[in-house]
Amino acid sequence: MAKTLYVGNLPWSTTEEELTSIFSRVAPVISSRIITDKFTGRSRGFGFVEVNDEDVEKVVAGLNGTEVGGRQIVVNEARPRPER
């Protein structure tokens, strides 16, 4: 099984390829995506990375609070989106 991790406080310039590269140093990445504004197409400064269940704790411990592009990123297990 796979778990999705929330990655916050990303620099606006971060690409999905860079996100995958950063997380691949700690554990294999299944997928990654940067969330963008639907009108401007600009990054909203956060994204999601999918990793295997057994790698979640290692990835969070290894990357939460680390610096990416001069910003300290936040990494934790993603919560389901609330109903509207």
CA distance 66 to 74: 8
pTM, 2 dp: 0.93
Q: Where are the domains of the chain?
A: 2-71
Six-digit token string for 84: 């509207």
CATH architecture of 2-71: 2-Layer Sandwich (3.30)
Which pLDDT does position 1 carry in this prediction? Answer: 87
Query: Residue 46: left (phi > 0), alpha (psi -120 to 50), or beta?
Result: beta
Six-digit token string for 73: 């990123």
How many residues would you count in the chain? 84
Which pLDDT does position 32 carry in this prediction? Answer: 97
Confidence of residue 31 (pLDDT cuts 50, 70, 90): very high
Which pLDDT does position 82 carry in this prediction? Answer: 82
CA distance 7 to 76: 7
Chain segment 39-84, per-residue pLDDT in tens: 999 999 999 999 999 999 999 999 999 999 999 999 999 988 888 8
